[in-house]
Amino acid sequence: MPIWQAIFLQNSLSPSMESLNFFHDHCMGILILILVISGGMAFSPLFSSSSSRSFEENEEMEIYWSSLPAIILIIIAIPSLKILYLLEEAPISNTSLKIIGSQWYWSYQMNDKIKFDAFLDLGDFRLLSTSNFLHLPYKESIRVLISSSDVIHSWTLPSLGIKADAVPGRMNQLFFLTQQSGPIFGQCSEICGAKHSFMPISTFFGPISIFEMKIS
């Protein structure tokens, strides 16, 4: 759930978002370690009485400064590649959804019977609530096909770690599931015109039995 004036990531509600949170913490830990070491080396001459007016070559130090960045990049790349393949994995899914982005609303299609548009609703949740909620099952893999009817949009649910571009003339695909029931909000994350900020996403995840009743 988005929180006013928050400076941290939203709570993880899916395995993919948990992996992204881990990768974020992993990279931040490495960056802080580099900052502390580099800062200590930069400011250490200010607190030391010893100084050197001449510099001599040091092959051992050159080896360290050349190999250390490569090692750091490898440490960052290993979990990054693992998460990249995890996000592109295509599990078996019993629920398919088609999403079309338009200026400035979303169109959803579950089957031949269920088709609806979701416009901005001036409700309790400012710039988050829509005229129609998208009801989906939780703890179930969901397949999404997304495209656009005009300009590039981006269907984004931060707490699920989802950001899929809606491109005119192209159909993108993604899979996701959530581990918790309840409402989940998002917004278009690609500048798409004057009313880009008035293009929210409102979803509600509930038990599979209730979902089947709604689509039957």
Q: What is the pLDDT of residue 2?
A: 59
How far apart, in whole angstroms, are the C-alpha atoms of residue 195 and residue 128? 14
- What's this model's pTM, rounded to 2 decimal places? 0.78
| Cβ atoms of residues 98 and 111 within 8 Å | no
In this prediction, residues 136-157 reach a mean pLDDT of 91
The pLDDT of residue 102 is 92
Per the CB < 8 A criterion, the answer to whether 145 and 96 are in contact is: yes
In angstroms, the CA 144 to CA 99 distance is: 7
Give residue 134's identity as a one-letter amino acid code. L
If you average pLDDT over residues 136-153, what whole number do you get?
Answer: 90
Between 45 and 62, the higher pLDDT residue:
62
Q: Give me the sheet containing 115-118, strands edge to edge.
A: 115-118, 105-109, 95-102, 142-148, 172-176
pLDDT of residue 87 exceeding 90 = no
Q: What is the average pLDDT across 118-140? A: 84
Give phi and psi for 68, each to the nearest 5: -60, -45
What mean pLDDT, rounded, does the chain reach?
85
Give 6-46 pLDDT, tens digit per residue.
677 788 888 888 888 899 999 999 999 999 988 888 887 77
The rounded distance, in Å, linking the Cα atoms of 34 and 16 is 27
Q: Which fold has domain 95-215?
A: Immunoglobulin-like (2.60.40)
Q: What is the pLDDT of residue 54?
A: 61
Q: Which of 5-14, 58-67, 175-184 has the highest mean pLDDT?
A: 175-184
